[in-house]
Amino acid sequence: MRYEDNRGFAAAQDRADPLAEYREQFNFPLERNGRAPIYLCGNSLGLQPKLAVQYVEEELRNWKNYAVDGHFHSDRPWISYHRQCVAEFAALTGAKHSEVVAMNTLTVNLHLLMASFYRPTQERYKIVIESQAFPSDRYAAASQIRMHGFDADEGLLEWSPRDGDTRLYTEDLAAMLAEHGNSIALLLLPGVQYYTGQVIDMGKVCELGRTHGCKVGLDLAHGIGNVDLELHDWAPDFAAWCTYKYLNAGPGAIAGAFVPERNSSPENLDQLHGWWGHDEATRFKMAKSFTPAAGAELWQMSNPPILSLAPVVASLKVFEEAGLAAIRKKSKKLTGFLDWLVTARFGDQIGTITPADARGCQLSLVVKDKNINAKGLFDKLCELNVTPDWREPDVIRVAPAPLYNSFDDVFEFVERLTLALSELSH
Ligand SMILES: *Cc1c(COP(=O)(O)O)cnc(C)c1O
């Protein structure tokens, strides 16, 4: 694709964009200092879909009007409310319907799934994470190791980028497994690295895990709604994701989990149980014995918080209508335009650590020119009502989200970046 550095080019792209109308379906943050917002932080918290407001209001009304009867007698009965997420979770992750479930929050799901799939022995007890793992994943893995009576410092192995590089190479993971594979119980790895934006070769990671007899768990916080996923075919032992980043379901919204068919047979009762994991048909007989639900629902524990699930259902409707293929197609152009513009204007001063051949929406920018204070630049951008995000020590992450960001947003971002740089040097 050929790009041009002018607003007319961006406007022409927006006119030709089949997803352009979706922008209207979202609420944007307020103007500041007379400037419209340039929101590029959908990798951290996606914007509010107008439909989410409607769905939450409907459930508040159902609660008011029906009280306990809302469980069975409202438009979308609460008893099966979570099932409204199934079809689109399955579509977005490349899974079967029986393999996905909406429940809890991300780190909680990682723990519950590790309770089932991290079952260390004296010989095989280590967990591989990546060296720049999101802190919550690291804490979760280390605490699991400790809970099983092992030493976390020794039990945690790190897959690291090479010296002077930020990219993760699957060859290096393969080498690590060739050397230590027999002592490794679990690979707990991201689909998309949150800091660099690198898309990991998830199929290859799963294959490596299988070859060496290790379980594989994928954290798809930055993957879902962003890049193509084929969980059923890749066949990790579990996966989990949050829904407030690219999925736009709101702060702390209910998360998702994947357990492949082969891991959820009713004879296998290695889960921590609660009544929502009991077969729904007989749940309310309140029996003393546990009858497992089929598929990933077996991992459910509690009746879900409907008010935190409503925006997930709403947001997934928007994804279902737009379709991930179209979203991904636009995303490649949009992030490509951003990368091209930044390089064309500031190639000497600003670079990116995000690999062009393995990325989703996000670009992680780094200031190369040591005369420019990176944090100062970030603060200037915020003053100009741009919302990127800052990651220590020197990364500015920007992620145009194809459902609501336009090519003009990208162009305007680069205009404000130009202004911020010129103000900094005065
Ligand atoms: C965003 C994110 C989390 C956040 O965890 P919560 O349990 O939702 O607070 C965890 N891990 C990764 C990799 C993330 O990107």
Residue 95's domain comprises 76-321
pLDDT in tens, 94-145: 999 999 999 999 999 999 999 999 999 999 999 999 999 999 999 999 999 9
Distance between Cα 47 and ligand 1 center (Å): 17
Work out the pLDDT band at 266, boundaries 50, 70, 90: confident
- Predicted pLDDT of residue 248: 98
- Predicted pLDDT of residue 406: 98
pLDDT in tens, 2-47: 999 999 999 999 999 999 999 999 999 999 989 999 999 999 999 9
Average pLDDT, the chain: 96
Strand pairing report for 184-190 and 156-159: unpaired
**Which residue reads 């047979």 in tokens?**
265
pLDDT in tens, 148-173: 999 999 999 999 999 999 999 999 99
Distance between Cα 191 and ligand 1 center (Å): 12
Question: Does residue 395 share a domain with residue 306?
Answer: no
- Predicted pLDDT of residue 111: 98
Handedness of CA 103, 105, 110, 114 (dihedral sign): negative
- Ligand 1 atom closest to 108 (CA): 7
Distance between Cα 197 and ligand 1 center (Å): 14
Question: Does residue 272 share a domain with residue 154?
Answer: yes
Residue nearest to atom 15 of ligand 1 (CA): 221
* % of the chain surpassing 70 pLDDT: 100
Domain count, the chain: 2
Question: Does residue 211 share a domain with residue 258?
Answer: yes
Question: Does residue 403 share a domain with residue 301?
Answer: no
- Ligand 1 atom closest to 245 (CA): 1
- Ligand 1 atom closest to 252 (CA): 8
Question: Does residue 247 share a domain with residue 338?
Answer: no
Return the higher-pLDDT residue of 373 and 268.
373
66 in any annotated domain: no
Question: Does residue 117 share a domain with residue 24?
Answer: no
- Predicted pLDDT of residue 75: 87
Question: Does residue 33 share a domain with residue 135?
Answer: no
Question: Does residue 283 share a domain with residue 161?
Answer: yes
Q: Six-digit token pair at 285?
A: 């007989």
pTM equals 0.97
Q: How many angstroms separate the CA atoms of 156 and 119, rounded?
A: 15
Handedness of CA 129, 135, 141, 143 (dihedral sign): positive
Question: Does residue 316 share a domain with residue 332?
Answer: no
pLDDT in tens, 206-257: 999 999 999 999 999 999 999 999 999 999 999 999 999 999 999 999 999 9
Mean pLDDT of 51-79: 95
CATH number of the domain residue 273 falls in = 3.40.640.10
Distance between Cα 190 and ligand 1 center (Å): 10
- Ligand 1 atom closest to 242 (CA): 8
pLDDT(58) > 90? yes
- Predicted pLDDT of residue 425: 78
Q: Which of 262, 291, 321 is the last residue of a domain?
A: 321
pLDDT(146) > 90? yes
Q: Ligand 1 pocket: which residues have CB below 6 Å?
A: 105-107, 134, 136-137, 190, 194, 219, 221-222, 242
CATH number of the domain residue 11 falls in = 3.90.1150.10
Distance between Cα 242 and ligand 1 center (Å): 7
Work out the pLDDT band at 426, boundaries 50, 70, 90: low
Burial class of residue 417, CB neighbours in 10 A (0-12, 13-18, 19+): buried
Distance between Cα 239 and ligand 1 center (Å): 13
